[in-house]
Amino acid sequence: MSPASEQEPCKHCEVRPRETEMGLCRACDALSGIRLLYEKTRRLTPEREDRLRILAERARRRLPLFEDF
């Protein structure tokens, strides 16, 4: 992985640094269920991944996920 990627947190636990090609730390990568989840979703477009990151951040802040019209 590139040095910049190693500075980013694990996509799953967001605690330890990324160590695998899927962006997971070794601990998360060792769990087959977590690894399977990211294997199935790694073909998402960058736009879709950005959208999911935004939704995850809104959920952490306990904000509404979607704007009411």
The pLDDT tens digits of the residues spanning 26-61 come to: 999 999 999 998 888 777 788 888 888 899 889 999
> How much is the pLDDT for 33?
94
> How much is the pLDDT for 69?
45
Host H or E run for residue 33:
helix 32-41
Residue 9 lies in a domain: yes
Distances in Å between the alpha carbon of 10 and those of 2, 47, 63? 14, 19, 23
Residue 29 lies in a domain: yes
> How much is the pLDDT for 52?
84
Does residue 25 carry a pLDDT above 50? yes
Residue 52 lies in a domain: yes
Q: Which residues 6+ apart lie within 8 Å of 28 measured at CB?
A: 10, 12, 13, 16, 34, 35
CA–CA dist 66, 9 (Å, integer) = 25
Residue 20 lies in a domain: yes
- CA angle, residues 54, 61, 12, in degrees to nearest 5: 55
| Domain range enclosing 32 | 3-60
